[in-house]
Amino acid sequence: MKPLKMEMSRKEKLVISLQLLLYLSLFTLVAFVLPSCTNECDVENTYFYYEPVYSSMEEIRSSVELLPPVELKQVGKIYFNNGYLFINEPNEGIHIIDNRDPANPINLAFINIPGAFDLAVKGNILFSDSYMDLVAIDISNPTAVTELGRIEGLFQEYNSYGYYANDELGVVTDWQLREEVTMTESSCAEPQYDWGVLYAEGIALTNDASFRASQAVSPSNPGMGGSMARFALVDNFLYAVDNYNLRTVDVANAAAMSKGGELSLDWGVETIFPKEDNLFIGTTTGMHIMNISNPLSPELISTYDHIVSCDPVIVDNDIAYVTLRSGTECQGFTNQLEVIDISDLTSPQLLYTYEMFNPHGLGKDGNALFICDGTDGLKIYDASDNSKITDNLLAHYESIQAFDIIPFNNVAMMIGEDGFYQYDYSDLSNIKFLSHIIISNE
């Protein structure tokens, strides 16, 4: 059946969908049951009850198509390849931007891909998730793209709880506000979640529930993704991470992709960054270093542990740069940049720590280090001396909420809360603004 219209904004429902995917990987509840306690503990709370709206996989799989260009509505992952920029619209699809002239980017088209959250590009092939599936799309002609291949059911975490997808109903593609629910709860009960609770067949949200959408810069082969990416391409292989697993897919023949191995990792996997024969995987508790000399069977070399926090990572030569940030999706309270010596991959060593505001994605080109520091904006540092990074601030753009960035060929391509920005950093003493594609709130 087709998704129903909701009585809330598009941004709100996307954020709800993203948060539910995260929290449903944490908590399995068959029914909402409150432990008994004394009457003194009983309180009444009002929740807004949303019911899931399902679409069949047949409908979803037949919906990939090229549409005319549309305005950006929501912050998503970014990928640069061969002069073109691809911007993910979470849960909706991918914008194609002709970026051969960064001062005048042209919004060419939009690829409708239901359930799209991650992407990567190899030559003329774009790879995207579509709920449980992996889709390969021929973009050799950006104005006439076609679906080339698909692996159905690759991302089985959607089925892990029998909640986000099931054989009879399909996949949750929307949320319908049904009613307000007043529930008697126990203030003595544990655990209490400030974001809301699972309730019956839907989700009950408190009035003041706070939601944040979890959304990397890695020189993938042959394109470039951001430091927040969950997809990485190395030669003819695509590596994809979810909260728990690392999956390998042979994409040498995009029309007949084949699944490789699947490796279970600790909970809290967030990002992936490829470098030569290794993958650097950021998690909420540390950084895994994996060897991919045997592409279909990655092997763990070592793990660098840190306190619980969101954790994008990039690598430059023998140094890894990791940003740790607080946030409800990570349950951490630390906001900092860590500089790690990885010359010995079996024993990473912390060299320096720098306090930040709320760092998200980051990138490095030469001595220029770019950090998207959340609501404190984009910060650009001279990192020629890793022991004095924050002493060498080159530029600070405070008026934007920065999310992720790709610096390449003297152009910094940054996605933020209110749009896509580009800067010319060919002269680090005189960084210049080039262009801005606005994210519409309508």
- pLDDT at position 249 is 95
pLDDT score of 377 more than 70: yes
- Does the pLDDT of residue 39 top 50, yes or no? yes
Residue 416: per-residue pLDDT: 87
- Write out the two tokens for 137: 């799309």
**Is residue 135 a contact partner of residue 179, using CB atoms and an 8 Å limit?**
no
- 372 confidence band (pLDDT: 50, 70, 90): very high
33 pLDDT higher than 90: no
What band does 133 get if pLDDT is binned at 50, 70 and 90? very high
For the chain, domain boundaries: 65-153+213-438
In what side-by-side order are the strands of the sheet with 299-305?
Answer: 269-275, 278-283, 286-291, 299-305
**Location of structure tokens 């262009």:** 435
Q: Is the pLDDT of residue 41 over 80?
A: no
Q: Helix, strand, or coil here: 101?
A: coil
81 Cβ partners below 8 Å, 6+ apart?
121, 222, 223, 224
Burial 93-131 (b: 16+ CB within 10 A, else e): bbbbbbbeebeebebbbbbebbbbbbbbbbebbbbbbbb
**Residues in a beta bridge with 182:** 46
Instruction: Give residue-wise pLDDT tens across range 78-129.
Output: 999 989 999 999 889 999 999 999 999 999 999 999 989 899 999 999 999 9
302-355 confidence digits (pLDDT tens): 998 875 556 688 999 999 999 888 765 555 568 899 999 999 999 999 999 999
- pLDDT of 226 over the 50 cut: yes
Dihedral (Cα; 400, 241, 27, 49), 10-degree rounding: 50
Q: Which two tokens stand for residue 15?
A: 């954020």
Q: What is the pLDDT of residue 245?
A: 84
Answer with the residue of higher pLDDT: 74 or 341. Answer: 341
Domain 65-153+213-438 bears CATH identifier 2.130.10.10: yes
Question: What is the band of 51 on the pLDDT scale with cuts at 50, 70, 90?
Answer: confident
Token pair of 121 as six digits? 């590009």
Average pLDDT, the chain: 79
Q: What are phi and psi of 401, to 5 degrees?
A: -95, 100
Specify the pTM: 0.78
DSSP code per residue over 198-252? EETTEEEEETT---------B--SSSEE-TT-SEEEETTEEEEE-SSEEEEEE-S
Q: Give Cβ neighbours of residue 264 (< 8 Å, ≥ 6 apart).
A: 244, 245
Looking at residue 308, its pLDDT comes to: 58
Residue 144 pLDDT exceeds 90: yes
Measured CA to CA, the distance from residue 193 to residue 209 in angstroms comes to 9
pLDDT of residue 36: 43
Give the rounded percent of residues in the chain with a pLDDT score beyond 90.
47
* Higher pLDDT among residues 137 and 38, named by residue: 137
